[in-house]
Amino acid sequence: MARVILHIDMNAFFASVEQVANPKLRGRPIVVVGSDHRTVITTASYEARAFGVKTGMTIPEAKKLCRDLILVIGDNRKYTTANARMLDVFYRYTPAVEVFSIDEAFLDVTGSMKLFGSGEEIARRIKDDIKREVGITCSVGVAPNKLLAKLASDMMKPDGLTVIAPGRVDEVMEDLPVGELCGIGPSLTGTLAAMGIKTCGELGRSSPSALRTRFGIIGERLRLMGLGVDESEVSPVDEEAEARSVGHSMTLRADTGDKEELSMHLLHLSEKVGRRMRRNGYLGNTVTLTLRYSDFRTFSQSMRFRKPVNDGMDVYLLAMKLLTPMRLAMKVRLIGVSVSGIIKDPMQVSLFEDDRKRAAVTSAMDDINDRYGEFTVTWGSLLARSRRKGVIAPAWRPDGSRRVEY
Amino acid sequence: MTMELKELITVGAVFSPGQVRPAWFMWRGRKYPVSEVAYTWESREGMARLMHFSVVSGPNVYAIAYNPVGSSWEMRGVEQDWRG
pLDDT tens sequence across A245-271: 899 988 888 899 999 999 999 999 999
Q: What residues does CATH 1.10.150.20 cover in chain A?
A: 170-226
| pLDDT tens digits, one per residue of B20-48 | 999 999 999 999 999 999 999 999 888 88
Band of residue B82 on the pLDDT scale cut at 50, 70, 90: very low
Q: A246, A306 in Cβ contact below 8 A?
A: no
- Exposure of B35 in the CB half-sphere (CA atoms within 13 A): 7
- A141 contact partners, CB below 8 Å, separation of at least 6: A6, A7, A9, A148, A149, A150, A151, A152, A153, A154, A155, A162, A163, A164
Band of residue B1 on the pLDDT scale cut at 50, 70, 90: low
Q: Give the domain extent around B13.
A: 2-79
Q: Does A372 touch chain B if contact means CB atoms closer than 8 Å?
A: yes
Q: How far is A222 from chain B (nearest CA, A)?
A: 42
Chain-chain contact of A373 with B45 (C-beta, under 8 angstroms): yes
Contacts of B83 in chain A (CB under 8 A): 24
Q: Is A378 helix (H, G, I), strand (E, B) or coil?
A: coil
Q: How far is A79 from chain B (nearest CA, A)?
A: 8
The answer, yes or no, to whether residue A387 has pLDDT greater than 90, is no
Contacts of B44 in chain A (CB under 8 A): 373, 405
Report DSSP letters for A257-288, one per residue. --HHHHHHHHHHHHHHHHHHHHHTTEEEEEEE
The share of chain B scoring above pLDDT 70, in percent, equals: 93
Q: A107, A6 in Cβ contact below 8 A?
A: yes
In this predicted structure, what is the pLDDT of residue B84? 33
In this predicted structure, what is the pLDDT of residue A141? 97
The answer to the question of residue B39 being in a domain is yes
The answer, yes or no, to whether residue A205 has pLDDT greater than 90, is yes
| pLDDT tens digits, one per residue of A42-69 | 999 999 999 999 998 988 999 999 999 9
CB-nearest to A77 from B41, B47, B82 is: B41
Note the CATH architecture for domain A170-226. Orthogonal Bundle (1.10)
Please tell me the total count of domains within chain B: 1
Q: Which of residues 14-73 of B touch A (CB under 8 A)?
A: 36, 38-47, 52, 54, 56, 61
The answer to the question of residue B84 being in a domain is no
In this predicted structure, what is the pLDDT of residue A217? 85
Chain-chain contact of B43 with A369 (C-beta, under 8 angstroms): no
Residues of A noted as catalytic = 104
Q: A127, A161 in Cβ contact below 8 A?
A: yes
The answer, yes or no, to whether residue A37 has pLDDT greater than 80, is no
CB-nearest to B79 from A24, A81, A372 is: A24
∠ CA A383-A387-A388, nearest 5°, is 145
The answer to the question of residue B60 being in a domain is yes
Choose from B19, B43, B56, B82 for mutation: most chain A CBs within 10 A.
Answer: B43
More confident residue, A192 or A371: A192
The answer to the question of residue B7 being in a domain is yes
Q: What residues does CATH 3.30.1490.100 cover in chain A?
A: 241-387
Q: Which of residues 21-80 of A touch B (CB under 8 A)?
A: 21-24, 73, 75, 77-78, 80
Q: Where are the beta strands (DSSP E) in A118-269?
A: 138-143, 161-163, 245-256
CA distance linking residue A10 with residue A22, whole number of Å = 18
Q: Which CATH class is domain A1-163?
A: alpha beta
Q: What residues does CATH 3.30.70.270 cover in chain A?
A: 1-163
Q: What is the pTM of this model?
A: 0.78
CATH of domain A241-387: 3.30.1490.100
The answer to the question of residue B57 being in a domain is yes
* CA distance readout (Å), B38 to A21, A133, A234: 5, 12, 34
